[in-house]
Amino acid sequence: MAYSEKVIDHYENPRNVGSFDKNDPSIATGMVGAPACGDVMKLQLKIDDNGIIEDAKFKTYGCGSAIASSSLVTEWVKGKTIEQAGEITNTTISEELALPPVKIHCSILAEDAIKAAIDDYKSKR
């Protein structure tokens, strides 16, 4: 299967790979997995007192599209409020990366990772 240039770019130079301390109160952690392919994604957001996302990191075990989707959202969420970040949908992710239909679940994974991180943030407060 042919990957788009954007997917290859994120796959070869993934942005913001790594972890924050999940016990830090300003860190929200979203863990999600895609049963179809067994991909696992961890997305962490560093959120300031005003609910603005200062920084983001991810760690993903999965295919190129899953890595690209998570790498892309770490770039997108920075500087956004949690409400704005929560509005990012799998459609915008898959359009940006030109994902083929069989890889749509990778973008769903990234969308759900943001939502799971936001839920974690709310539950911590």
Partner 1 sequence: MNGVKSLNYFELFNLSFAFDVNVEAISGTYRDLQRAVHPDKFAHEGERQQLLAVQKSAEVNDAFQTLKNPLLRAQYMLAEQGVDIQLEQKTLQDPMFLMQQMEFREQLEDIGQMEEGDEQDQLIASFENSIKRLTADFYCQLGTLLVSSCKVSLENAAIVVRKLKFMNKLSDELERLEETIL
Q: How far is the CB of 113 from partner 1 (least distance, A)?
A: 8
d(CA 106, CA 103): 6
Q: How far is the CB of 90 from partner 1 (least distance, A)?
A: 10
d(CA 67, CA 58): 9
Nearer CB in complex with partner 1: 13/35: 35
Task: Determine which one of 17, 37, 40, 52 is catalytic.
Answer: 37
37 is catalytic: yes
106 is catalytic: yes
Task: Determine which one of 106, 109, 114, 117 is catalytic.
Answer: 106
Sign of the torsion angle spanned by Cα atoms 66, 67, 72, 73 = positive
The site for partner 1 (CB under 8 A) is made up of 29, 31-40, 42, 59, 61, 104-105, 108-109, 112, 116
How many other β-carbons are positioned within 10 Å of the β-carbon of residue 67? 24
Nearer CB in complex with partner 1: 77/116: 116
Nearer CB in complex with partner 1: 97/108: 108
Q: What is the DSSP string of 52-101?
A: BEEEEEEEEES-HHHHHHHHHHHHHHTT-BHHHHHT--HHHHHHHHT--G
Catalytic positions: 37, 106
